[in-house]
């Protein structure tokens, strides 16, 4: 009763597959960052969560979205969901490139969607004074906040964290976004398996083969 909401007529199960988890988490990164119309946003990592954060930043009114990603298939989907620039961290220093793209100003909001020290620190380094780091990553070790990227505490930076808000009213709103056609997350489902073949599905996903993003399992 707390979390379930009816799927609107005209939407399939697969249309709303991302709503209870991936979409809710990614969008919360944009919401917690309090993105305003006309702002510049950087999203570090374009896995499923990062891709939804990119889509959320677009919906919130960001007019320049810079995604950091090295996998070509994910970079392509990122552009489709709203990224204006995709920075390949294997080819260039992402911090230097983002600062170049913003003419040295930095971004208003940086969303960290991977969960590593390097991406967290990179997100800090690209913030303008007064900017916000919205963290979605699940970290496996203690984070360190280096003095330089934190501007010695003098830059009025804000760090916020979020993880997968729930509730039936939120589910209703997320499904309304899908029904409106303002975002199309169907490209995130790249492979489909029957329940009997779930072991093969996990094997594919765990080895990240064949351009896999998300696997749909049909009972």
Structural domain of residue 148, as residue ranges? 22-161
Same domain, 87 and 185: no
| Per-residue pLDDT tens digits for 180-208 | 999 999 899 999 999 999 999 999 999 99
Alpha-carbon distance of 172 to 154, in angstroms, equals 41
Q: What per-residue confidence (pLDDT) applies to 3?
A: 87
Q: What per-residue confidence (pLDDT) applies to 212?
A: 92
Structural domain contains residue 150: yes
Contacts of 31 (CB under 8 A, 6+ apart): 56, 60, 162
| Per-residue pLDDT tens digits for 80-111 | 999 999 999 999 999 999 999 999 999 999 99
Q: Are strands 189-194 and 64-68 parallel, antiparallel or unpaired?
A: unpaired
CA dihedral 62, 64, 68, 72 (to 10 degrees): 110
Asked which of 161, 183, 203 is the last residue of a domain, the reply is 161
How many domains does the chain contain in total? 2
Is this model's pTM higher than 0.85 or not?
yes
Same domain, 197 and 154: no
CA atoms within 13 A on the CB side of 132: 17
pLDDT of residue 8 exceeding 90, the answer is yes
**Average pLDDT, rounded, for the chain:** 95
Same domain, 147 and 39: yes
Percentage, residues of the chain above pLDDT 90? 89
The CATH number linked to 29 is 3.40.50.720
Task: For residue 68, list its beta bridge partners.
Answer: 44, 87
């Amino acid at each position: 009763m707390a979390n379930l909401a009816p799927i609107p007529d005209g939407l399939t199960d697969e249309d709303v597959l991302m709503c209870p988890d991936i979409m809710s988490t990614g969008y919360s990164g944009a919401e917690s960052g309090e993105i305003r119309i006309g702002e510049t946003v950087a999203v570090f990592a374009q896995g499923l969560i990062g891709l939804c954060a990119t889509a959320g930043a677009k919906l919130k009114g960001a007019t320049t979205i810079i995604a950091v990603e090295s996998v070509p298939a994910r970079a392509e989907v990122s552009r489709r969901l709203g990224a204006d620039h995709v920075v390949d961290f294997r080819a260039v220093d992402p911090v230097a490139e983002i600062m170049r793209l913003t003419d040295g100003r930095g971004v208003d909001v940086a969303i960290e969607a991977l969960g590593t020290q390097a991406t967290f620190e990179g997100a800090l380094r690209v913030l303008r004074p007064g900017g916000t780091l919205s963290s979605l990553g699940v970290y496996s070790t203690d984070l360190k906040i280096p003095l330089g990227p934190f501007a010695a505490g003098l830059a009025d930076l804000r760090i916020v964290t979020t993880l997968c808000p729930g509730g039936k009213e939120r589910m209703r709103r997320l499904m309304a976004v899908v029904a409106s056609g303002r975002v199309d997350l169907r490209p995130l489902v790249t492979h489909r398996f029957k329940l009997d073949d779930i072991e093969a599905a996990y094997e594919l996903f765990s080895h990240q083969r064949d351009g896999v993003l998300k696997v749909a399992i049909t009972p």
